[in-house]
Amino acid sequence: MPVTDLLERNHKLYGDEVALVELNPTMKDNRKTIWKEFDLVQQTSSTPYRREITWAIFDEKANRVANMLLSRGVQKGDRVAILMFNCLEWLPIYFGILKTGAIAVPFNFRFAADEIQYCADLAEVQVLFFGPEFIGRLESIEEKLSQGRLLIYVGDGCPTFAEGYRELVADCSSQAPLVRLEAEDDAAIYFSSGTTGFPKAILHNHESLMQAAEMEQKHHLTDRNDVFLCIPPLYHTGAKFHWMGSLCAGSKAVLLKGTTPETILDAVSKEKCTIVWLLVPWAQDILDTLDRGDLKLEDYELAQWRLMHVGAQPVPPSLIKHWMEYFPHHLYDTNYGLSESTGPGCVHLGVENIHKVGAIGVPGYRWKCKIVDENNVEVTRGDVGELCVKGPGVMTCYYNDPEATAKTIKDGWLCTGDMAMQDEDGFIFLVDRKKDVIVSGGENIYPVQIENFLNNHPKVKDVAVIGLPDKRLGEITGAIIAIKEGMTCTQEEIEEFCKELPRYKRPKTIIFADVPRNATGKIEKPALRKLYGADRLVEQQNRS
C-alpha cells in the first residue's frame, strides 16, 4: 500500500477537520488589515502568524501539485527536490510529488550553495521547489543548477530564474492523478546528516514510509483526538515520520516555527497539543527557564499534554529525571533510528518502560536487532558491539552507490555504525558512534558515557566529549562544556566532579565553549575535532 492512500482516506473520512496548522509566533499576521476599511479593526500587530488547512484541502493541494508536475513531463521514478523551511505548503508538495510516482528529495535547509549543487547532482534531481530564504544561495549556482532542471519558487516575488508555484498550480485539477502506485515503488531520497563530509543519498520505497506511519501510531498510541506539535525541520526523517503517526491516525498536527521555551509552552497551551517531540537542547532550555523562574507552568494550559518524547541523540538520564519533577503526569519515550532506517523507531524505549531511562529501548514494531563484533558474530549480553537492525523500514540502497550500500546492508541487516550493549532484560544501551570511540593507550573510551556523567553536574548545560591527538597515547579525552546561563564554573570544579569516574575516563582537557549541534540536535563532533584536535596537534608539534 502506498503512503498516499492514507492521505486520500483522511480526505474521505475527515475532510472538514483540521489536518495542519502553521504557527509562527515571531511573525505578525497582516492578512486581515483590509478589515480596517470596515471599522472592524483587529489587533494584527499582536496576532501571531497562523494558518491551517483541512484534510480535504491538504489532499486537493497535493493533487494540484501532482497534476502540474505531470503536465511538465515528470514521470514515475523522476527525482523532485524540496528546499524549504517548515510551512503549510511543505507536506502538500511532498505528497504531490509522491502521487506522480516520482521520488521526493527533501534538502537540508542548512545546505550551503555547493552542497545544494552536490546533492542535486548526486540524486539526479530534475525539479526543485524552493522558498524565499534560498534565493541568494541558488543565484550563486543558478547557471549550473538550472541546466535541465525546472526551478519552482514558493513565495512572493518570484526571481527571474524560476517559475512561480502559485501560478503553476492555479489551474491544475484537484482530482487525484491516474498513476498506479505499489508498496515497492521508490518514494523518497533522504540525505545523511553530513557531519562526516558531504551526505549520502538514502533511497526508501513506499513500504518504508508506511512502516514509519504505522509504527509511530502504534508506539505512541496516537488517536484522532491527539494533537502533535512538530518543531524540527520536515526535511529530516525524524520530524517527518513522527508526524506520520498523525497521518495514520487522521489527527491534527501543528508546525511550530520557534524553539524558545515560551513559544513551545505557548503553542502547547493554545493549540491543545497532546504529543510533543523535543530535542535535548530544547528540553534542557525549558528546564533551565523553569528553574530560574522566568516561566511558570501555571500560566499555561498543559493538562492535556500527555506525552513528551526525545530522540535524534543520546538522552542524559538526569534530564528526564529533572523533567519528571516538573511534569510527573507525562508519559515519556525515546526513539532511536537513522535516516537509513526510515528515521526513529527501529529501537524505542516504550512509554511503559520509564524505569529503564538511559536505554534506547527494545526492537520497535516489526523490527529485529542484534549486536555483533568486528567479525559480525553476535556478542554476549553485556558486551559492547555494533548495533544492527532489520525490518521493513530499511533503506533500499544508497542511491547510485552500490559500494557504500554493500558495506552498510549485510544479509538484510542494516549496520548502524553505533556501538551498543544489551542488558539482562533485553534493553539496548547506546554506547557511542563506532567512529567516535576514543582509543587512548589501547583503552576504548566511549564519549557518551562521559557526556552522560558530566550532564549530572548542576552547572553543565551541554557537553561534548571528543578524542584529542596525543603523541604518547594516540588520543586523550577532551570535554567541551557549555555552562548554564548566569552561572560560572572552573576547571577545578569539573576535575573534582570527575573524580568519581575511573581515572582513564576522566577528561584530560577541559574547554569551556558552546557545543555546536546540527538542525536535528546531533553534536557536530567533526567540527569540534577540526577546531580543537588539529590545533592541539600543531601545538604539540611546535613544542617538540
Q: Which of 290, 311, 293, 196 is nearest to 245 (CA)?
A: 311
The last residue of a domain, from among 369, 403, 433: 433
In a domain? residue 468: yes
Q: Look at phi and psi of residue 250 and say left if phi exceeds 0, alpha if psi is from -120 to 50, else beta.
A: left
Residues 143, 9 share a domain: yes
DSSP letters spanning 176-187: PP-----TTSEE
Residues 486, 382 share a domain: no
| CATH code, domain carrying 516 | 3.30.300.30
CA 69 to chain centre: 28
Question: How far is it, in rounded angstroms, from Cα 242 to Cα 236?
Answer: 10
What 8-state DSSP symbol labels residue 533?
I
Integer CA distances (angstroms), 155 to 53, 134, 351, 511, in order: 18, 11, 41, 43
Contacts from 158-166 at CB under 8 Å and sequence distance 24+? 159/135, 162/130, 162/138, 165/89, 165/129
Residues 216, 101 share a domain: yes
Asked if 165 contacts 89 with a C-beta cutoff of 8 angstroms, the reply is: yes
Look at residue 145 and give its three-state secondary structure.
helix
The gap between the terminal CA atoms of the chain, to the nearest Å, is: 65
Residues 344, 327 share a domain: yes
Q: Which of 487, 465, 490 is nearest to 476 (CA)?
A: 465
The structural domain count of the chain equals 3
Residues 533, 457 share a domain: yes
In a domain? residue 278: no
Give the pLDDT confidence score for residue 262 in this predicted structure: 95
Give the pLDDT confidence score for residue 352 in this predicted structure: 92
What is the number of other CB atoms lying within 10 angstroms of the CB of residue 145? Answer: 22
Asked if 466 contacts 525 with a C-beta cutoff of 8 angstroms, the reply is: yes
- Bridge partners of residue 221, in order along the sequence: none
Buried b / exposed e across 306-319, counting CB within 10 Å, b at 16+? bbbbbbbbbbbebb
Residues of the chain with pLDDT under 70: 28-47, 193-198, 312-314, 432-434, 441-443, 471-472, 519-521, 533-544
Kindly state the cell numbers that stand for 435: 567512529
In a domain? residue 42: no
In a domain? residue 179: yes
In a domain? residue 176: yes
Asked if 252 contacts 277 with a C-beta cutoff of 8 angstroms, the reply is: no
Give the pLDDT confidence score for residue 443 in this predicted structure: 67
Integer CA distances (angstroms), 71 to 14, 148, 532, in order: 29, 16, 53
Residues 197, 163 share a domain: yes
In a domain? residue 529: yes
Give the pLDDT confidence score for residue 400 in this predicted structure: 92
The last residue of a domain, from among 368, 398, 433: 433
Asked if 421 contacts 382 with a C-beta cutoff of 8 angstroms, the reply is: yes
In a domain? residue 39: no
List CB contacts of 193: < 8 A, sequence separation 6 or more. Answer: 108, 199, 339, 518, 520, 522
The last residue of a domain, from among 387, 405, 433: 433
Question: How far is it, in rounded angstroms, from Cα 520 to Cα 518?
Answer: 5
Residues 251, 326 share a domain: no
Give the pLDDT confidence score for residue 36 in this predicted structure: 31
Give the pLDDT confidence score for residue 344 in this predicted structure: 86
Phi, psi of 361, deg, nearest 5: 125, -145
Integer CA distances (angstroms), 393 to 78, 422, 438, 471, in order: 22, 22, 31, 44
What is the enclosing helix (H) or strand (E) of 59? helix 55-71
| CATH code, domain carrying 336 | 2.30.38.10
Kindly state the cell numbers that stand for 24: 509562527
Residues 245, 113 share a domain: yes
Model pTM above 0.75: yes
Residues 398, 511 share a domain: no
Residues 411, 504 share a domain: no
Q: Which of 223, 524, 216, 198 is nearest to 341 (CA)?
A: 216
| CATH code, domain carrying 220 | 3.40.50.12780
Residues 516, 396 share a domain: no
Task: Name the residue type at position 150.
Answer: L
Residues 452, 338 share a domain: no
In a domain? residue 84: yes
Task: Name the residue type at position 238.
Answer: G
Residue-range definition of the domain harbouring residue 234: 4-26+50-258
Task: Name the residue type at position 121.
Answer: D
